[in-house]
Structure 1
Amino acid sequence: MSVDAFDFNKPPDEERERLGIALWAQMFPTIDELRAKLDGPYMLVQPGSTLDVDDQFLGRWRAGGLQGGAMAASMDALLTARMILEAGTLPITALYPVFRAAIENASLGIYLLSPDARDERLVRAYGIAADEAHKQFEFQKSLGQDWTESRDQLLAEIRDLVRARGTLGDAEAFRPTGSSHTRIVTSADRVISSDPALPHNDRMPLVAVWQLLSGMSHAKQWALVTALHRTEAIVNEADQTAQVRMTSGTELVALVLLRAVEALEVALRLHGKRSKTWTALPEDTADWTGQ
């Protein structure tokens, strides 16, 4: 039998590979612009703005730590990817967990900042905070430490915040639940898809990009076969298997870099919208105490 019958080889297209390199190079200035925003006065929260009023109901989670840390982590992932790409090397799979982290963390920022309704933003924040408490509990347990009292204290603080807000129902019955990465990325994709500042056309949903990156991060065969180039197949025709050389394509790298940059752009745009007094919502005026 011929190698073609098994489709073991999936070689790169040289022209598309050159295009991939050109596309990712075009995104480097945008990464610089995003970094300047994260490191500069753009991140300041003005008194009376939406985020400032949110802080009245966030207790120890005030000052934007939940979304700010996520956006900073996304930026760090983009800078790491850029450093590797500028060095002229392209690892087979090691970059894809980095892109996955960039998308996950930017998506978390979007998830927390996008709802216009304060109650929805607060419920999401309480859920993420509670999930962090549970994750830290599991971490401490792995170290042989009992963190039960601290976890329960954090959950009690969240119920106190619910009680202080007064619009979320019975505080004792309130059960904050975290969101899966799938839900967070899917929610972010809907926001990105409706952002008028970005081009919209038929393309892979962000959650599908994230799933592919997750599969490659965990070396799942379906993801590697889907995403990587295969060349130099040495075929064992008896059992229809082959040893192949697998390489990463620049076109795919450019695609996922673009989606990661877009996600962080949208997250930062939402931060700007929520952090400025002139974009405050009517609800902000009613809730703001000036404290």
Structure 2
Amino acid sequence: MTNNPVPENDPTEIEHSQLVYRLLRRAASIAEVLENMPAPELGSKLDQDDQRVPTRRVSNYAHSQLVVATGCLESLEHMISRESEDEVSLAIAPYGYFALIRNAIDCLASALWLMEPVNGTLRIKRLLMLHLDEVMKASSFRASAGIEHREYKRTHFARLQEIASEAELGSWSLRKSPLPSMTKTLKQIERLHGAARFSWLALWQLASGHAHGKNWATLSSHMLEQIPGSEHEYGATFRVTGNYSVLAYFLLEVVKMLELSVRRYQELSHG
């Protein structure tokens, strides 16, 4: 087995590799927009949300998720591309990059789910649910690492309850409002997704399968080439290589999801 790059001769794969690079460049331009994005305008919906929860701003959380998503795509570009004065070359291995795509989908789904409601009160409730999930996961990590976690969880949960009260959320209970799973989140926001061959959930599931090293994911989306002379009575040995066509499709959908998320952020940021 070798990890040395093999020249690509398939015209379709070459065409899709060029599309992959263009999509990564699109994501990089969006990252620049996010880096220079001004604070929400006074009186805008996001500004009104932030005034109700000034220590846990809706705009800050949404923006951070978008930044992490573009950071994942930037890391993917660094992973697979090499650029000189004269040319750009791409080389993909069968493994690794889908974990970055999965992370990007995670972040974009959280940002869209947070910003999707028309009602600001619902956006704030979702914000607090996201923060509580972070507290619970941080507490679980601290417990596994042998770091004090009970007081950490108690004090942070109490503070979130105070914020809910300060935001005048009435009888709404944070304790009784667990964050939906990523599967449920993606199903909830799928109505925002335009016509596509696969749902966001399907893309996330396949990327997750790759991220966890599952054979079904590898066989579903990679190229398989039988090694000459490897046949035996039970089968044969195959060489697995990355598939630019599949990667291009994933990136197309993820970049469109990113653009949709940024547009929603901008809509809420303008007065």
For residue 247 of structure 1, the aligned residue among 232, 241, 247 is 241
Instruction: Tell me, yes or no, if structure 1 residue 210 matches structure 2 residue 204.
Output: yes
Once residues 62 and 135 of structure 2 are traced to their aligned partners in structure 1, the CA distance between those partners, rounded to angstroms, is 16
Letter in 1 for 2:165: R
1:220 is matched with 214
1:261 is matched with 255
CA 189–13 in structure 1, closer or farther in 2 if over 3 Å, else same: farther
1:190 is matched with 191
Once residues 226 and 77 of structure 2 are traced to their aligned partners in structure 1, the CA distance between those partners, rounded to angstroms, is 29
Once residues 92 and 170 of structure 1 are traced to their aligned partners in structure 2, the CA distance between those partners, rounded to angstroms, is 47
Instruction: Tell me, yes or no, if structure 1 residue 271 matches structure 2 residue 265.
Output: yes
TM-score using structure 2 length: 0.86
SS where residue 201 of structure 2 aligns? helix
Contact 1:90–1:248 at 8 Å: present in 2 too? yes
Once residues 142 and 220 of structure 2 are traced to their aligned partners in structure 1, the CA distance between those partners, rounded to angstroms, is 38
Question: Among the aligned pairs, what percent are the same residue?
Answer: 21
Q: Which has the higher contact order (CA 8 A, sep 6+)?
A: 1
Contact 1:130–1:176 at 8 Å: present in 2 too? no
Once residues 58 and 123 of structure 1 are traced to their aligned partners in structure 2, the CA distance between those partners, rounded to angstroms, is 10
SS where residue 148 of structure 2 aligns? coil
For residue 77 of structure 1, the aligned residue among 72, 79, 102 is 72
Within 5 Å, give how 1:6-17 maps onto structure 2.
14-17=10-13
- Deviation, structure 1 residue 22: 2.6
- Deviation, structure 1 residue 74: 0.5
What are the ranges of 5 or more consecutive residues in structure 2 without an aligned counterpart? 1-7, 83-89
What are the ranges of 5 or more consecutive residues in structure 1 without an aligned counterpart? 1-11, 194-199, 278-291
Letter in 1 for 2:78: M
Contact 1:113–1:270 at 8 Å: present in 2 too? yes
2:4 is matched with none
For residue 123 of structure 1, the aligned residue among 119, 122, 125 is 125
1:104 is matched with 106
Letter in 2 for 1:35: A
- Deviation, structure 1 residue 70: 1.2
CA 70–256 in structure 1, closer or farther in 2 if over 3 Å, else same: same
Task: For residues 87-143 of structure 1, give each alpha carbon's deviation from its aligned partner in whole angstroms, at most 9, with x where no partner exists.
Answer: 221111111101111111112111111111112212211111000000110111122
For residue 89 of structure 1, the aligned residue among 88, 91, 101 is 91
2:61 is matched with 66
